[in-house]
Structure 1
Amino acid sequence: MSAILIFMAGIAGIIAWWMTRQRLTSKPWLETSPAGDAPDMRGSSATTAKVGLGIFLAVVGALFTLLISAYLTRLSGTDWWSIPIPRLLWVNTAALAASSVALQWAKTEARLNHSEMLNTALAVAFALGVLFLVGQVLAWRQLVAAGYVLADNPSNSFFYMITGLHGLHILGGLLVLGRTTFRARNNNARARVRLSVDLCAIYWHFMLVVWLILFALFAGWANSFVDLCRQLVT
């Protein structure tokens, strides 16, 4: 339980830090300059979109937190046999991390109005995201071929359920990223494109952090952390 509280506190800290960067802690009544001199305050739609995404990510984080809590609780059962981690997951993790880096690159190019480099960065991020999903499916097929089917063991069920749910979130992100890539190639509204790229980057970075936590959980590294937390509590 303490491990879950620490995880939730970490997620809350990340969200709080991110929200402070969206001018939510600013005091507009103290602004003394004319409204036309404050371009950052005119982008209310951008702020609304980012706050909406922050709320959505908070819900997603809570969902995965509950799943991790259930996983750690079920871990101590006598009928639990840990599922082996395919080596392909290392490649998938590298692909998702590289995709996140590419989106950060796209975010920089969008702010500099470098259209060609922006299109390249978005295409790379999208391709690596697809590679991650394909790799996840291949990892599933490897496990099934080795006899680790869904209903054979609680560990198998949790693995397929959690990785599948994460994959669905990545798939949803790819749909939005694909639309953003198309918009960047065909839309002259640079401000709207920059906002879309920013939102995609924030979402992708968050899903990368979630996957790294899940990967550590499935690899067994989290067990030592949980034991340490239990020792600190007792």
Structure 2
Amino acid sequence: MSVILVFLLVIAGIAGWWLSQQRLMSKPWLEHGPDVAFAQEDVTGMPTAKIGLGVFLAVVGALFALFASAYFMRMELSDWQAPPVPRLLWLNTGILFLSSVALHCAVLASRNDEIRTTRLALITGGLTALAFLAGQLLAWRELAAAGYFVDSNPANGFFYLLTGMHGLHILGGLVALALTTYRTWTKPLDGRLKLGVELCAMYWHFLLFIWVAVLVLLAGWASDFIDICRQLLS
């Protein structure tokens, strides 16, 4: 339970900071300006698509929190033998970081109406994400070649489960990213398209955060962190 509590506290802190940046506590009825209704915004002025993505990311975070909780409970048993972390995962982490940076650059370029830079940044983010997935597959092959198969030990199964679920979310994000990139060639860079670019960037930043958490878990660093938190909470 302490593992879940610590994770929820971290998520709550991040969520609180994010919500504070979205003007959820604003009072639009006290603000001056023309009384114009926007179909794609709620009363706080935040686009409903962004709220929907926030809810979806909260669900994804809860899913990985449950995986992490199961990981910690299962590793207490005597048959647990964690596989070595392939060095390739560190390179993959750097590639995913570059992908997230590229999406952030796309947001900045779209806000400045720089359509060519936006396209280039979106394509760069997509290609680096594909490179990340290719690197993950190579890491799987490296482990399998060394004899670390899914069914040979529960720890191996968790390794493939966590990295595989994260990869599936990357694939889903690539579909949305591809559609957004296509629209930069077929539609003007209006507010709706800029919102799509921003949503892709939000999703990518979140997946980077999830991946770092997964890597820390697989590397064994999370156990030391949880032990420290238990001592502080006791």
TM-score above 0.5, yes or no = yes
**Cα separation, 1, equivalents of 2:90 and 2:185:** 32
Q: CA deviation at 1:116?
A: 0.8
Q: Deviations over 1:134-157 (max 9, x none)?
A: 111110011011100001101001
8 Å Cα contact 2:104-2:201 kept in structure 1: yes
Which residue of 1 is the match for residue 199 of structure 2?
199
Q: CA deviation at 1:128?
A: 0.4
**Cα separation, 2, equivalents of 1:35 and 1:42:** 13
Which residue of 1 is the match for residue 152 of structure 2?
152
Query: Which fold has the larger relative contact order, with Cα–Cα distance below 8 Å and residues 6 or more apart in sequence?
Result: 1
Which residue of 2 is the match for residue 177 of structure 1?
177
Which residue of 1 is the match for residue 229 of structure 2?
229
Which residue of 2 is the match for residue 218 of structure 1?
218
8 Å Cα contact 1:102-1:121 kept in structure 2: yes
8 Å Cα contact 1:19-1:51 kept in structure 2: no
**Cα separation, 1, equivalents of 2:184 and 2:40:** 19
The one-letter code sitting in structure 2 at the alignment partner of 1:65 is A
Which residue of 1 is the match for residue 103 of structure 2?
103
Q: Deviations over 1:149-200 (max 9, x none)?
A: 0011010011101111111001000111111111112211421210011000
Q: CA deviation at 1:42?
A: 7.3
8 Å Cα contact 1:3-1:225 kept in structure 2: no
How many residue pairs get matched? 231
TM-score by length of 1: 0.93
The one-letter code sitting in structure 1 at the alignment partner of 2:41 is S
Q: CA deviation at 1:43?
A: 5.4
* 1:37-186 paired onto structure 2 within 5 Å: 44=41, 47-186=47-186
Q: Deviations over 1:204-230 (max 9, x none)?
A: 100100000110111111111122123
**Cα separation, 2, equivalents of 1:193 and 1:115:** 11
CA spacing shift, 1:42–1:112, aligned 2, 3 Å: farther
**1:24 is the counterpart of 2:24:** yes
Q: Which has the higher helix share?
A: 1
8 Å Cα contact 2:115-2:189 kept in structure 1: no
SS across alignment from 1:81? coil
Q: Deviations over 1:64-93 (max 9, x none)?
A: 001001101111110000110011101110
Matched-pair identity in %: 51
**Cα separation, 1, equivalents of 2:231 and 2:65:** 21
**Cα separation, 2, equivalents of 1:189 and 1:91:** 34
**Cα separation, 2, equivalents of 1:182 and 1:16:** 34
**Cα separation, 2, equivalents of 1:80 and 1:226:** 18
**Cα separation, 1, equivalents of 2:47 and 2:23:** 8
Contiguous gaps of at least 5 residues in structure 1 = none
8 Å Cα contact 1:80-1:155 kept in structure 2: yes
**Cα separation, 1, equivalents of 2:98 and 2:231:** 36
Q: Deviations over 1:27-60 (max 9, x none)?
A: 1221243325xx9x77517610000000000000
The one-letter code sitting in structure 1 at the alignment partner of 2:164 is G
**Cα separation, 1, equivalents of 2:2 and 2:85:** 26
TM-score by length of 2: 0.93
The one-letter code sitting in structure 1 at the alignment partner of 2:172 is G
The one-letter code sitting in structure 2 at the alignment partner of 1:49 is A
**Cα separation, 2, equivalents of 1:48 and 1:143:** 43
The one-letter code sitting in structure 2 at the alignment partner of 1:115 is I
